[in-house]
Structure 1
Amino acid sequence: MTAIFKKEFRSYLHSVTGWIFMAVTVCFFAMYSSVYNLAYGTPYIAFSFDAVLILFFITVPLLSMRIMAEERRQKTDQLLITSPVSVGKIVLGKYLAMAAVFLIPLLFFSFLPLFLSSYGTVPMAENFVAILAFALYGLAAIAVGLFLSSLTENVVIAAVLTFIVLFLTYMMQGIESLISTTGNMVTKILSAFDFYTHYGTMIRSVSDVAGNSRLTTVFDLTGIVYFLSVIVLMLFLTTQSVQKRRYTMSVKTFAMGAYSGAATAAVIALAVGVNFLAAALPAKYTQLDVTTNKLYGITEQTREIVSGLSQDVNIYVYAAQESADGVLAQTLERYQELSKHIKVSYVDPLQDPNFAAKYTAEELSQNSLIVETDKRSKVVDYYDLYETQTDYATYSQSVTGYDGEGQLTSAISYCTSDDMPKIYFIAGHGEYTFDSGFLAAIEKENIAYETISLLEQEAIPEDAKCVIIHAPENDFSADDADKVIAYLNNGGMVFLTTEYVQEQQSNFERILSEFGMTLQRGMVAENNTANYYQEPFYLLPDIEAAGETAGLTGQHQYIMSPFAQGVTIPENGVEGMTYTKLLTTSDKAVLKSGKQQVTTYEKEEGDLEGPFCLGVKAQKELDAGTGTLYVFTSAQMFTDYYDSAVAGNNKQLFSNIMGTIAGHEVRVSVPVKSYELPMLTVPIRTAYLYRAVFMVIVPLGLLAAGLAIWMVRRKK
């Protein structure tokens, strides 16, 4: 076999065929990658591979048409089939020679992710899975070409047959949809010849809620099994084709023919069986989520909630199964694997148009979810599964995050919970209002909320799980402050934020002093460069370890707390009181008094030196229970704008606190998963150099080398 491999590989390098194949492949891949990766800045090379697949229609027939047909035409195949080497080894040697020629340019592709990583964040795992998928597709196509070349002695016919078959395997998905949009026995049989769909099990393009096409990547065992079985089957059929000619003159022709037919049927049945077995395995055994943002992965908190279910949960997907959102379908599979109580059903709105009306009076989007238990139901609109951002300059939408797990886990918790906590927002003093992202975080924790004015209430409502006072601009009345203090001293919870104002708010500050704390008037400026962003007032405080900061204390995790004040905590312990610092500055921070214009961020006369506490949880042990007061001295930190600057960590902190307030043993709110990586920024000079080298110089060099070798050998 080694001798056959060396002979065939050498023949590709001694003729122009192998060099043309490599030159064309490198040139076209470089062309597409220069557009997608360098010009558009996408960090995924799968787009380039997807475009290059069409090239196989031409390059694979060029590579494979002579491999068997030429031997047969020149009658040199008789020498091979009468040699002591088995036919299987001969076929394998020839195949490996073609595979080597194909894999040489693939080595170049393998270095592209490393090159791109110099210009931004690159998803290495996804890109190398894309390389593997492309390699398997190419190797399967070469195996098909090898088999078809063994059927004829005419190289042109071999090339045309290979072109037609590869074209059909690429277009098979479209052919199936023409036969039946819902699928039938014919389409199931044809799907066995669908290369592109099986390639797509590893690199799939899905359309998101904004209509944009995106790639999601899983390491899919079924796709790998499919292509490997195609390769093995094609090599076996090629062996049988050659073997048949070896025994053409044998007196045992009939016996050999029967043996060959039975063996072929057995191998085909084995290939089909292996693929059926792989497809029947649960997704948790066959699919590995390699997306950088773990789109298909399930967080530990969801695992705890779902695996602990004791009642059935029905999830209805308002879409036909074949047209359902691919990412959502993967997520639902993971939920089903976690618990036998999860049942997923697809409802085609065309076949049952009145189904949604049973659960909501509003018009429901396709791919929306309805989660139902014996207790209650909840509708999750498809557009809530994705976080979108609108560019008002172009009036276009882009998807920034996937919230499928977050919405599903929240809905399941809502439908299975025995009671629903409620919080009250205090209004009437010029309080801030929360942005939509933070209100959504409250809703995901399945907390009901209502806005009230203390002027209209004799006391805080008895069903209040918590009261939120969000940075009042005006002072409380003495009566309003007394109502809040009475609620706290009765074991209540208050979440309070402050914002620097010129006038002192003596009644409002009495709420803090009731728990032994004092608001430090002024604005904190940070002088440690590691603790601020761009300007010293945009604080990046140290995050202290606590239940509320779970998941936020790792390396390179930041909370942004702009325009913050300080809050003092008693240095000596106070009986019955517990203080848990959540956010603190460095000791290089200073408190600018605000009485004079800031001319420097360094300490001046009248400024206080740090460190300062910017966030604290104070608890008072009482006969009626435990009163809890959360204080954060920056109201701006609870806005979508500043939250986006730290990848949603401010919202994560807020969600953790809401989960603690709600009394959830396992936090219900799952953060939105970032849907894409930032675009690469490749200098135009580098892009031009890349195009010049890999689209022109390298391909021309390969062609020149092949031509030179061919001419030298021809003269000999």
Structure 2
Amino acid sequence: MKEVKKITDQSRKRNLKYGSLSLAFLLVVIAIVIILNLFVAKFDQKFDFTNTKVFTLSKETKTIVTDLKDEVTIIVLEKAGSERSTNARIVGEYQEASSNITVQFIDPELNPNLLQEYGDDSNLTFGSIIVENGGKVKTLSPIDFVTLSKDQSKVKEIATESKITSAILSVTAKGEKVIYTTVGHGEEALNEELKQALENENYIIEEINLLTDTAPAAKESVVVINSLKKDISEEEAAKLKEYMSSGGKLLVIDDLYDADRKNYENILKLNGVQIQRSIVFENDMTHRLNSDKYVMIPEFGKHRIVDSLQESNYKAIVAYGQPIEILHVKKDNLLISPLLSSSKDSYSKLPDDIKVKRDINQEADDPIGPFHLGVVISKKEKGEEQPAMVLYSNSFFLNENLIKSSNKANLDMFVNSVNWLQDAKEQIVIRPKDISSSPIVMNNYQQILISIAVIFFIPLLIATPGFLYWYRRQKK
């Protein structure tokens, strides 16, 4: 009997001991969960595991909103309880990045007067976003925030950041920025896609006849000469020289023509460059789009115009490029940098040789690359670099098919060129973000659960077999 009582007492003590340990362990777990909850709630830490950082603002956007001087309000039209939608999460990043940005979530069904204040039912709906500053308003509809696949069946890209940042720039812009396209010499007009891209950057596009119109104001404008077929007159050349000497900027897009364009070419030479009238062909298969040697994927130079494209691994595509020669004899204040270049395995041929021989294959006497296919020109004045000219040696990169084939990298390069010439440092195109992979964004509670799993449950799973083995040994 005494033996039974002794065993019973030992069992009670053992149960009390392990019960106390279990209680202590439970209290520790609860304490850690509470501490983690308080910590996460305080710092509101979020993680963005998407490949293209859909929920993380780009450095370009952060620069823009950090430098904001005006108060900007972003109104998100969402149903109550939808504040964790994709657009709502992205908008929240703007408020965190700048104290001058206020974000409001409003349910239009509960606030019908809002629709009358900012627009009508046709352009404002659930998912719309309104960006406002001092009475200037930009409204964005849900369709603005996505790019669809070719068959229109699914969303390919999220454009929320690019659209909202553009809207912020629009409502905070001071004065008008004008792009003048020259006419009267057989120039190619900008297609609708190019015009729309420039208008999205808040530019006004106007035509200018250098012979009959007065020269534009140098500081607020860029003059675009796109595929000029006939020469400009001496009077027009004089206007362009005066315009550039006053700080005006040129975007020149050239093509191969037989016409004598002496006055036009003198403008290029005054800026330290000339175009060699030949066609570049590419032997390196990694720098070609397909079997056509004249459709090339050039190498980017190091410049703000193409840096964002290069970082995102996008490629430009050009066709029928001509070599651009940087002159040895030029003004000391000119700074010229390559923007696009063919590979060292490229070569060039004269058009007449191609016509006579009917052959584009490389011959022993053909000049070999690399060749510059695009350059940027700055002027150093008072110790500072001032944008002067961007020159491309072919206009085919603005062809709709090549824009599409380049995944719009060609389009972005064109717009970035205008922005650089306007010295709009912050306005380098922010590309929509690909969502081919599913985004994972954790809220506070998800982070806590994952933390508990990593700290406790996973070690517990590992320790359990060992504990069971030990327990069985003790019973024997």
TM-score for the superposition, normalised by structure 2:
0.75
Aligned match of 1:318: 77
Distance verdict in 2 for CA 1:316–1:281, change over 3 Å: same
SS class of match (2:361): coil
Distance verdict in 2 for CA 1:440–1:277, change over 3 Å: farther
Equivalent residues in 2 for 1:544-559 (5 A)? 544-553=301-310, 558-559=315-316
- Could you tell which deviates more after superposition, 408-417 or 327-336? 408-417
Distance verdict in 2 for CA 1:651–1:642, change over 3 Å: same
Q: Which of residues 410, 417, 420 in structure 2 aligns to 1:660?
A: 420
Amino acid at match of 1:401: E
SS class of match (2:419): helix
Amino acid at match of 2:301: E
CA contact (8 A) 1:302 1:668 kept: no
Amino acid at match of 2:78: A
Amino acid at match of 1:432: E
CA contact (8 A) 1:618 1:629 kept: yes
The reply on whether 1:499 has 2:252 as its aligned counterpart is: no
Looking at structure 1, the residues matched to 14 and 100 of structure 2 have their Cα atoms a distance apart, in angstroms, of 62
Aligned match of 1:612: 371
Looking at structure 2, the residues matched to 349 and 609 of structure 1 have their Cα atoms a distance apart, in angstroms, of 64
Distance verdict in 2 for CA 1:451–1:510, change over 3 Å: same
Q: Give the C-alpha shift of residue 439 in structure 1.
A: 3.9
Distance verdict in 2 for CA 1:530–1:321, change over 3 Å: same
Q: Give the C-alpha shift of residue 277 in structure 1.
A: 4.2
SS class of match (2:286): helix
The reply on whether 1:359 has 2:118 as its aligned counterpart is: yes
Distance verdict in 2 for CA 1:88–1:302, change over 3 Å: farther
Aligned match of 2:430: 670
Looking at structure 1, the residues matched to 148 and 236 of structure 2 have their Cα atoms a distance apart, in angstroms, of 40
Q: Which of residues 61, 64, 69 in structure 2 aligns to 1:305?
A: 64
Q: Give the C-alpha shift of residue 496 in structure 1.
A: 0.9
Q: Which of residues 89, 92, 114 in structure 2 aligns to 1:330?
A: 89
Q: Give the C-alpha shift of residue 85 in structure 1.
A: 6.0
Which deviations, in whole Å up to 9, do the C-alpha atoms of 1:224-273 show, x marking residues without a partner? xxxxxxxx9xx97xxxxxxxxxxxxxxxxxxxxxxxxxx9xx999x8996
- Greater fraction helix: 1
Looking at structure 1, the residues matched to 17 and 399 of structure 2 have their Cα atoms a distance apart, in angstroms, of 71
The reply on whether 1:403 has 2:163 as its aligned counterpart is: no
CA contact (8 A) 1:447 1:662 kept: no
Aligned match of 1:632: 392
CA contact (8 A) 2:222 2:418 kept: no
Q: Which of residues 403, 427, 447 in structure 1 aligns to 2:203?
A: 447
SS class of match (1:311): coil
SS class of match (1:533): coil
The reply on whether 1:566 has 2:352 as its aligned counterpart is: no
Looking at structure 2, the residues matched to 659 and 589 of structure 1 have their Cα atoms a distance apart, in angstroms, of 31
Aligned match of 2:300: 543
SS class of match (1:608): coil
Amino acid at match of 2:56: G
Which deviations, in whole Å up to 9, do the C-alpha atoms of 1:369-390 show, x marking residues without a partner? 1111226222223222222355
Looking at structure 2, the residues matched to 375 and 559 of structure 1 have their Cα atoms a distance apart, in angstroms, of 39
Distance verdict in 2 for CA 1:282–1:388, change over 3 Å: farther
Looking at structure 1, the residues matched to 35 and 256 of structure 2 have their Cα atoms a distance apart, in angstroms, of 68
Aligned match of 1:245: none
Looking at structure 1, the residues matched to 73 and 210 of structure 2 have their Cα atoms a distance apart, in angstroms, of 42
Amino acid at match of 2:296: L
Q: Give the C-alpha shift of residue 288 in structure 1.
A: 0.5
Aligned match of 2:103: 344
Aligned match of 1:217: none
Looking at structure 2, the residues matched to 575 and 425 of structure 1 have their Cα atoms a distance apart, in angstroms, of 29
Q: Which of residues 457, 469, 474 in structure 1 aligns to 2:213?
A: 457
Looking at structure 2, the residues matched to 502 and 324 of structure 1 have their Cα atoms a distance apart, in angstroms, of 61
Which deviations, in whole Å up to 9, do the C-alpha atoms of 1:683-715 show, x marking residues without a partner? xxxxxxxxxxxxxxxxxxxxxxxxxxxxxxxxx
Aligned match of 1:383: 143
Which deviations, in whole Å up to 9, do the C-alpha atoms of 1:631-678 show, x marking residues without a partner? 001212234532443444334433433332232343453222123269
Aligned match of 1:577: 334
Looking at structure 1, the residues matched to 149 and 394 of structure 2 have their Cα atoms a distance apart, in angstroms, of 25
Looking at structure 2, the residues matched to 467 and 357 of structure 1 have their Cα atoms a distance apart, in angstroms, of 40
Looking at structure 1, the residues matched to 371 and 82 of structure 2 have their Cα atoms a distance apart, in angstroms, of 55
CA contact (8 A) 2:250 2:389 kept: yes
Looking at structure 2, the residues matched to 448 and 88 of structure 1 have their Cα atoms a distance apart, in angstroms, of 78
Amino acid at match of 2:253: T
The reply on whether 1:425 has 2:178 as its aligned counterpart is: no
Looking at structure 1, the residues matched to 18 and 51 of structure 2 have their Cα atoms a distance apart, in angstroms, of 42
Q: Which of residues 649, 655, 680 in structure 1 aligns to 2:409?
A: 649
The reply on whether 1:592 has 2:349 as its aligned counterpart is: yes
Amino acid at match of 1:372: E
Looking at structure 2, the residues matched to 86 and 661 of structure 1 have their Cα atoms a distance apart, in angstroms, of 80
Distance verdict in 2 for CA 1:474–1:282, change over 3 Å: farther
Amino acid at match of 1:485: K
CA contact (8 A) 2:281 2:294 kept: yes
Aligned match of 2:268: 512
Q: Which of residues 393, 396, 412 in structure 1 aligns to 2:168?
A: 412
Looking at structure 1, the residues matched to 381 and 100 of structure 2 have their Cα atoms a distance apart, in angstroms, of 42
Looking at structure 2, the residues matched to 88 and 654 of structure 1 have their Cα atoms a distance apart, in angstroms, of 73
Looking at structure 1, the residues matched to 381 and 98 of structure 2 have their Cα atoms a distance apart, in angstroms, of 41
Looking at structure 1, the residues matched to 258 and 101 of structure 2 have their Cα atoms a distance apart, in angstroms, of 55
Which deviations, in whole Å up to 9, do the C-alpha atoms of 1:264-300 show, x marking residues without a partner? xx999x89967974774454x1x20000111101112
CA contact (8 A) 2:229 2:259 kept: no
Aligned match of 1:374: 134
Looking at structure 2, the residues matched to 456 and 278 of structure 1 have their Cα atoms a distance apart, in angstroms, of 69
Q: Give the C-alpha shift of residue 556 in structure 1.
A: 5.4
Equivalent residues in 2 for 1:126-145 (5 A)? none
CA contact (8 A) 1:313 1:343 kept: yes
- Could you tell which deviates more after superposition, 416-425 or 492-501? 416-425
Aligned match of 1:26: none
Q: Give the C-alpha shift of residue 87 in structure 1.
A: 11
Which deviations, in whole Å up to 9, do the C-alpha atoms of 1:55-111 show, x marking residues without a partner? xxxxxxxxxxxxxxxxxxxxxxxxxx989467989xx9xxxxxxxxxxxxxxxxxxx
Which deviations, in whole Å up to 9, do the C-alpha atoms of 1:476-504 show, x marking residues without a partner? 45544443333223221001111233444
Equivalent residues in 2 for 1:13-24 (5 A)? none
Distance verdict in 2 for CA 1:576–1:340, change over 3 Å: closer
Looking at structure 2, the residues matched to 88 and 330 of structure 1 have their Cα atoms a distance apart, in angstroms, of 47
Looking at structure 1, the residues matched to 312 and 107 of structure 2 have their Cα atoms a distance apart, in angstroms, of 46
Amino acid at match of 1:663: D
TM-score for the superposition, normalised by structure 1:
0.52
RMSD: 3.9
Q: Give the C-alpha shift of residue 343 in structure 1.
A: 1.4
CA contact (8 A) 1:438 1:640 kept: no
Unaligned runs of 5+ in 1: 1-80, 93-231, 237-262, 679-716
Q: Give the C-alpha shift of residue 455 in structure 1.
A: 4.8
Distance verdict in 2 for CA 1:637–1:325, change over 3 Å: farther
Identity of aligned residues (%): 23
Distance verdict in 2 for CA 1:82–1:449, change over 3 Å: farther
Q: Give the C-alpha shift of residue 537 in structure 1.
A: 1.1
Amino acid at match of 1:635: S
Looking at structure 2, the residues matched to 399 and 343 of structure 1 have their Cα atoms a distance apart, in angstroms, of 28
